[in-house]
Amino acid sequence: LFARKPFITGNWKLNPSTKDEAVALATGIADSVTADSPGDIGLFVPSPYLETVQKIAGDKFVVGAECVTPETAGAFTGGVSPSMIKSMGIEWALAGHSERRTINKESDDYINSQCKMLIESDMNVVLCIGETLEEFEKGLVDAVCEVQLKKGLAGVSSEEMKQVTIAYEPVWAIGTGKVATPEIAQDVHSICRGILGEMYGEQVAEDTRILYGGSVSPDSVDGLMEKPDIDGTLVGGASLDATSFGRIINFVT
C-alpha cells in the first residue's frame, strides 16, 4: 500500500511543564498505539524527560531529543551531546527545527554538524527544512529546500542516508493553524525527493521518508497521508493531547 512505511512523529517543544504531566501524556499516547496502527511512531521530547518517556514507550514508539549540541565534551554550558543521550538508550534526534534556526540562530553549517555527529554516533536524525512566509510568497520554496537539504546533508554518504529522515515544515504553517494543503505539501515533497535523487540517486530518494509538519491535526492528517510522497508527519501542538495525537497515529487513508 505504502511505498515507504509511514512514520508519525510528535515534537513536544518546551512542554509539558512538569514530569508528572509528561508521564500522563506519554502514557496516553502509548495507550493509543495498537497492533493495527499503520506506521512507525516517534516522539521528540525535552531532554530531561527522555529516559522517563523511553520507559513508557517500550516498543510502541521511538523517543528522541529535540536538538543536540554537536560536540563530544567540553566547555559548552547547557549542551546535550549525542553521546550523552545515546548512552541513555536514545537513538533519535531532530536537527534544524525552524524554532532552533530562528530563536537559537542555528545555521545550516551547525545543523550539518549535528546531522553528521548523530550519524557517526550510530543514531538517526530527522532533518527539518522549510521556507518562511516571505520566501513562500516570493516563490522561493524549491530554492530554500534545495539549499537546506544540500547544506544540511553535506558530507553525508548514500549509505548513511538510511539514518536520515527529512521533515518538510513550512514555517508559515508551524503553530499557526494554517496547514499546507495536501496538494502544496505533495508538490514540495516530490521536489525534495527529486533533489535527493540528484544528490544520492534514485534508490536513496525512493527509500528516504519525507514527513510533513505544520499544524497537522486529526482533521488534516488523513488527506495528507493519502499523497504518495508524504510519508508521515511531525506534529507539534496536537502531540500535546493524547486523544488528538492518538487519532493522528491511527490515521485512515
Q: Which of 42, 130, 214, 246 binds ligand PEP (CB under 6 A)?
A: 214
Please identify every residue annotated as catalytic.
97, 169
* Residue 232 lies near ligand PEP (rule: CB under 6 A): no
Query: Which one of residues 42, 96, 130, 237 is an interface residue with ligand PEP (CB under 6 A)?
Result: 237
CB of 238 to ligand PEP, least distance (A): 6
Binding mask 45-84 for ligand PEP (x = CB under 6 A): ----------------------------------------
Residues 168-207 that bind ligand PEP (CB under 6 A): 169, 174-175
Residues 82, 117 contacting (CB under 8 angstroms)? yes
DSSP 103-170: HS---HHHHHHHHHHHHHTT-EEEEEE---HHHHHTT-HHHHHHHHHHHHTTT--TGGGGGEEEEE--
For 196-232, give one letter per residue: b (16+ CB within 10 A) or e.
beebbeeebbeebbbbbbbbbbbebbebbbebebbbb
Q: Which stretch binds ligand PEP (CB under 6 A): 112-120, 189-197, 198-206, 208-216?
A: 208-216
If the CB atoms of residues 216 and 249 are measured against ligand PEP, the closer one turns out to be 216
For residue 217, which amino acid is it? S
